[in-house]
Structure 1
C-alpha cells in the first residue's frame, strides 16, 4: 500500500470534518480541519493538491484575496514539488504561514502519520 492509499481515510475524515464545521458556520474549526488534512496528506501529490484546492475554495468563499493567491501559489507547489520531497514537515498549509516553514506536528496528527507509515509496511 502506498502513502496516498494509506492516508486516504484520514484525509477524507478531516475534509468531512471541515465541511461539517463550515456548514455550521464554524470557520475556525473548519479551517483547522483543513490544516490537519494538509499535515496528514502533504506527502501525497494527490492529497496535498486536494487540500490546497479546498483551502482555495474557503478563501474564495471568504473573499480573502491573501488566502486565494496564497493557495494558487501553493497548488502549483503541491503539483510540482511534492513528488520530489520539497515539503516543510508539519506546515499547516494556509496563507497565514510561510509555505517553506517547517512546523511541529501535533500529537494527534503524529499518531495518524505513524498509523499511515505502519500501513505502508
Structure 2
C-alpha cells in the first residue's frame, strides 16, 4: 500500500469509528466499504475493515451481514496477499468474489507511486 493509500485508509477507518460511536450505522458502513477497497490487498487492513463491518452488522441486528462477515473474516486472513476481487466493497450485499469498479478518487490513490 502506498503512502497516500495508507493515509486514506486510516482516515476512512477513523471516520467510520467516529460514525460508529455516534450510532450512524449507514455512514459507518459506507466508510468501511471505502476502507475495504483501499486495504483489501493487505491482510491487517483487510481484516480490520471486515471486523468493523461485522460490528456494524451486529449493531443493526442484520443477520445476513453478520453471517457474511463471519465468512469473510477468515478469507481475508488467508487470501489478502494471494488474490482479492479488486474494487469489491466487502459487504454481504455483494458476492465476495466479484470484482467491482473502483471509484475514481480511490483508483487515483491506489495508482500513486
| Shared fold per TM-score greater than 0.5 | yes
For 1:81 and 1:63, locate their aligned partners in 2 and report how far apart those are by CA, in whole Å.
28
Whether 1:106 and 2:76 are equivalent positions in the alignment is: no
Q: How far apart are the structure 2 equivalents of 1:106 and 1:8?
A: 16
Q: Deviations over 1:65-111 (max 9, x none)?
A: 11111001101110111121x21110000001000111000011112
Q: Distance in 2 between matches of 1:60 and 1:72?
A: 11
User: What's the secondary structure of 2:80's corresponding residue?
Assistant: helix
Q: Point out where structure 2 has 5 or more consecutive residues left out of the alignment.
A: none
Q: CA RMSD for the aligned pairs?
A: 1.5
Q: What number of residue pairs does the alignment pair up?
A: 112
The CA deviation string for residues 17-70 of structure 1, in whole angstroms up to 9 with x for no partner, is 112223344322221110000000001011101110010111111111111110
Secondary structure (helix, strand or coil) at the match of 2:81 reads: helix
More helix by share: 1
For 1:82 and 1:19, how far apart are their aligned partners in 2? 22
Distance, in Å, in 2 between the alignment partners of 1:42 and 1:107 is 17
> 1:29 — aligned with what?
27
Q: How far apart, in 2, do the equivalents of 1:18 and 1:99 lie?
A: 21
Match in the other structure for 1:94:
91
Q: Partner residue of 2:10? A: 12
1:112 CA drift (Å): 1.6
The DSSP-based 3-state class of the residue aligned with 1:88 is coil
